[in-house]
Structure 1
Amino acid sequence: MIKNHKLIEKSILQQVAIVLLIIIAIMGSAFMVVNQVFNYRHDYRGYNNLMKEKDDLNAEWGRLLIEQQTFGATAQIGSRAVTQLRMYSPPATQTVVISTK
């Protein structure tokens, strides 16, 4: 009887130990899931900030390209006026200043 009683106690202790190990494993797994979700959200927020910055930089790049084309067109218009239309700035002797008083 004593042997059976000790075997039953040992069996119960083993079962309790197994249940405790399972509970610890489940809790550890839950904490790791929470940590992964936190890290994902943190990284995703950083990704969104970088994408917004990329969009802002692309918009600025577009504005700079338009500005560059505008300045390039001004020089091109001046050179075409001289070469194709034979336009020139008149000398001071041919310039008349009109005053409106």
Structure 2
Amino acid sequence: MRAFLLLLLLGLVASSAVAVVLSRHHHRAGFIELSRLEKERDELNIEFGRLQIEQATWSEPNRIEQVAVTKLGMKFPEGAEVVVVQP
């Protein structure tokens, strides 16, 4: 009976040790995934900042006016070309 109890306790200690090892392994795997996702988040934030700067550059009034004149042939109307519509 005493030998059985000793073997039972030894088995419980061994299974507890295996559970601790598995728990640490899952923790490390989770930490590695967290680090990868944080790095991806940082890269996406940098790309977002670049895109915001690019959008601001492309939407500047001088740039829009330049494209309207050169590519679309638009111009400001002369005095005689302005028509006022009244309701």
TM-score using structure 1 length: 0.65
SS of equivalent residue, structure 1 residue 79:
coil
Choose which of 17, 34, 38 in structure 2 pairs with 1:23.
17
Matching residue of 1:79: 76
1:84, distance to aligned residue in structure 2 (A): 2.8
1:71, distance to aligned residue in structure 2 (A): 3.9
Structure 2 distance, partners of 1:72, 1:62, is 17
1:15-94 pair list within 5 angstroms: 15-66=9-60, 67-72=63-68, 78-80=75-77, 83-84=78-79
The amino acid of 2:9's aligned partner reads: Q
Contiguous gaps of at least 5 residues in structure 2: 81-87
1:51, distance to aligned residue in structure 2 (A): 1.1
Contiguous gaps of at least 5 residues in structure 1: 1-6, 86-101
Structure 2 distance, partners of 1:29, 1:11, is 27
Structure 1 distance, partners of 2:65, 2:46, is 26
Structure 1 distance, partners of 2:68, 2:29, is 55
Across the aligned residues of Structure 1 and Structure 2, the Cα RMSD in angstroms comes to 2.3
Cα distance 1:31–1:69, how it changes in 2: closer, same or farther (>3 A)?
farther
If asked which structure has higher relative contact order (CA below 8 Å, sep 6+), I would say: 2
Runs of 4 or more, structure 1, over 2 Å off, are 69-76
Larger radius of gyration: 1
Structure 2 distance, partners of 1:9, 1:69, is 93
Structure 2 distance, partners of 1:35, 1:42, is 11
Identical columns (%): 12
